[in-house]
Each structure stands twice: as structure tokens, then as C-alpha cells.
Structure 1
Amino acid sequence: MELQQMRYVIAVAETNNFTRAAQRCLVVQSALSHQIARLENELGARLFERTSRRVRLTPAGAAFLPVARQCLDAAERAAAEVAATVGEVRGRLAVGLIPTVAAVDIPTVLKKFHQLHPKARISLGVGASNELVEQVKQGEIEVAFLGIPVTARPQGVLARELARERLVAVVSPDHPLAGETSVDLRRLSSEVFVDLPAKTAGRAQSDLAFTAAGLTREVPFEVTNADYLARLVGAGLGVALLPPAYVAGLTGLVTIEVTDAPSRAEYVIWGRESLTPAATAFLELLGIGPE
């Protein structure tokens, strides 16, 4: 059983097509098919059901796939650890972040990291804070940047607080509130809101503030993407509460100070298990190395 055979199986499983898998792996299709057939003979089981219309995993293939991924990850980690002993950082660096992260200039940091460690591979994923915490705990990503209520703290991971900021209200230029310099939550509670989905960390910042003030609000528009949330506000569909550093990069919206605004804390988090050399180097670059 060879690592290359495992790579081929993963490619076919992810593309559901032998031709596309061969293109991804930069080999001719006959060579890829031959290696998978050899592996199936060695295992004594078919990994894929092949028809003229589709390719899909068999039960044996579904059982083999996660283990194959673990083997490839372990092989890559081993190579990265050996390279680190001679001062070379390589392997994967998987970073997750919320769309509104502002405490760190992520593109600039990643550019510097790539310049220092060109053999490391960087993957960047965007998601909700609660999802990112789970991904770090499961080892799917190494480092993540979150925004959560100041009353909370990431659980089950190592964390460092980066910044705190009070949210501001944003409205379209023709909104009745656009001429105001400041408002309070009671005034805002009568407005229609555009916000992130219920029970997400980004939504909780505002929900907790209104609840603590004994107020309720109407949120008929829920959006998973902060950029599109801002577009809905710009179209006049409602009001939103957003971090000021994020709002500074938007156009076509009016910002209003909220006198009793909720606050959020931004964190960088990483797993409790031993870090890859790439993740360690990334944290060191931020000046917030592992504890």
C-alpha cells in the first residue's frame, strides 16, 4: 500500500470522476485507474462502484477514505517535523477566521508568512466563531480568529484576546436614522434589523445587549455572510450592529454611535495538542506564541 495510491483514492472520492481525479493528480487516467485497481486487489475489496454515468464509494471505500486522509496527514506532519529540525518550515497551515476580523490584518500577515516560509501551504477558511472553535478542537484547522461577546471565552482550546470594540449601528443613506449622530438601544429596538443567524456568536453580542436592557427587536433578515449583510443594509432593508473597524472598509453606509452599544472581543485560538511547525511559526509571527 503506497501513499500515492491513497492520494488517488481521495481525489476520485472528492471529484466522483476518474478523469478529473487524474487531472488533479497530474497523471494519465490509465495510470491512476491501474494504481487504484492494484490497491483494491491488495485490500480484497472494491473501493468504488463504477458505471458509465457515475463513480461513488462502496461501503469499503467509505471506511477506507478517512483512514487514508489520516495517513497522508501523518506523512506530511512527519516530513514537516523533520524539516523543522534543520530550520525549514513546510507542510500545511490551515487558518480560519470570521469575515469581520479586524484586530489582525490577515492578508498582510499571510503575505509575510509566505515570504518567510515559501514551502508551507496555506489554506484559509471563513466561518462563524462557534464553527471555527469546533474545527480547531477537531484538528481540522490549526489557528482561528474569532469575535465573541466580552462575557464569553473560547472553550476547549488555547486562546489569546487580541482586542475589544463597541459595535456601531449602520444604516443606508436614506434611512430615517441617517441624520442622527448617536442613538441608544431603546431607539433601535423599534427598527427592523438585518443580522447573523440566531445562536451564532456574532448574533449573540447584540441579542444579549437587548435582553440585558429589557428590550426586544425584530430581525426578519438573517444572513450568514457579513459582506452580504452590509449589502442588505445598504439596500434599505434594515439596521445592523457591526464592529467599527469592519465598517470602516465599507462604502455606501452611514455609521451611527450607539451610546449603550454591546461590545465584542476578538481572539486568536489554537489547539491544545502539539502544533505543526507551520502553525507554531505563524503564531510566533503574530507575537502571540503558544502558551
Structure 2
Amino acid sequence: MARKKHNKPKKPKYATYSDRIFDSPEPQKRQPHRPSWYPRISALAESRMYEGLQLVAQDFDEDISDTAVEEVAPWQRDLAMDYAGIDDESRDYWDFKEMRNDRKKDFAKMREAREGRATHAQEREDEVERVLFLQQLNRERATYDIYSAEYVRSWGEREVDSRPDMYIVARVFAARVVQCVELKGTHARIHLDRDFDIELEPFAMPDRAGSSSIDVEMLEFDGYVTISFIDRFRLKLLIPRDVAYEHVPTGIPETIEFVGISREFKDKRTRREAKEREEATRKRKQAEEWERREREYSPKDSWFEMDHPEGWWAQNRGF
């Protein structure tokens, strides 16, 4: 009977861990990852070197799409170079990266300066637009309260209307039996007294204020009324004295000057002044309340009342 052959255990190739380490082949050096902009800059730097030139900041503009700077601390750069190996290629890469970050900072400063100039220009545009808005007349409908100190004084003891006004409307429809006929032009009616008004002929209203004054004829009286639009909310009127008075007092000039203020403007000003008064009242009451709560420390007050969160001092101060 043949004897069975026993398989002997194989001897390990390395007796110890250190033998395996020292006998193992040298690992291949891993190539570091480079961004997409690096090959172009590297080739450009090499061509410049043959020409005796160096890279400039503008060479990095082609690949810069955003101005976010990749901040790299010096120790991070040294650690990366130690890991990848200190060679010319790694040194060039980090130099180029630093130059690129400097260029990004330049772009950020230029953008900030540009935004500042744009903001300044926008403020000037808004200023001009506000002026133009004041010059644009309300061509649809407007009511002006008109004032004249000379006109009021000339009445003496006679009772007069305290709110004379001028009503301007760009379009008036005249009622007819069959249809409504649109009357062309701008129409105006001036109320000097509760029982007396002046209706003007249709006239061409200017688009903007500040232009020369216009003379508008009256429907029921001879002569004309001179209108000067100062801005969107203010105007001046010159009305003949023979029309303004039924019996002309002595010493009255040939024309009476009235100034007009739009009720739209007065309403806005009234609302703004009301808000300002409310804010002033609120601040005054708040100051009075704090002044009432503030008081000098009194020896009669206990530690609990003055220093404890549940004491009088903390509770009344709103803590």
C-alpha cells in the first residue's frame, strides 16, 4: 500500500511585516490634479520665457468666470508641495494660482468701484426723474385751491367764499339726446365765489410745466385769463379785475394774481404731516415714559426691589 504524500505548509514569502515593506516595489507617484486653466497658462509662460518675457495679470482674464478667491494659507501650500513633491511643475502651479487669485481680487475691486459709480449715476437719474415728474402736468383731471391775499382784503366786510378753486379737466363730454360728443381740448372753470364762476374756452394744455404762460379766453366775458403752470402741483392765475369784481374797488390793479395749489399735493402733504405728527407724539410719549421710570437709587429700596429680576426696578424697565 502506497504511502500518502502529505502537503507541507508553504513558507511565507516574507517572514515579517518589515521584510514585506522593504522588499515591496516603490509605489508610483500619483500625479496631482490640475485645473483646466493651468495647461494654457503653463504653455503661455513657457513661450514667454523663450522670448525673455513674463506673465502679466491680463493673461489670466480668459479663464476667469467668477471673482471668488480660493484663499490658500502658506502652510497649506507647503503641505501640498511636500505631498506632491517639490519640483518645478508644482512650484509653477502654485505661483500661477497665486497670480490668478490676485487678478480675481483686482476684478472684485473693479466691480465694486463700478457698482459705486452705477449707484451714483442712478441717484442722479432719479433726481432728474423727480424733477421731470413735477413738470409733467396732470392732463386728466386736477383741482387747485387758489389764493390771493389782495383779493380777500379788497372785499372789506363782505362775506366771501373761503375756498375759491379752479377745476381743470382734459376731456369733457357734452350730453346730447342721441349720443355724447367729446369736446376737444382742455376745459377749465374758476370758482371765485359760491355764486360766481368763470368758464374758459377749450385750450391746448402744455405737456410740461415751466413753459411760457398761456392766455385763455373766457366764454361769457371779454378778455382772457393768463395761466402759468409752475410745476405739477402749483400754478399762477392773472384774472382781469372787471371779471373778478362786480363792483371794482378803488386802488385795485388791472389784473388780480392768484396762486393755486393742487388738492392732490395738499392731500399727500397732509398725510405726510399726519404721519410725522404721529411719530413725534409716539417718541415724546416714549421719552416721558422712560423719564418717569428712571429715578435715583433710594436707600429705602431693598436689594430685592432694585437688583432681583422680579423686583420693582427690573419689572418696570421691561426686563
Q: Same fold (TM over 0.5)?
A: no
Return the TM-score normalized by structure 2: 0.20
Structure with max Cα Rg: 2
Identify which of structures 1 and 2 has the higher relative contact order when contacts are C-alpha pairs closer than 8 Å and 6+ apart: 1
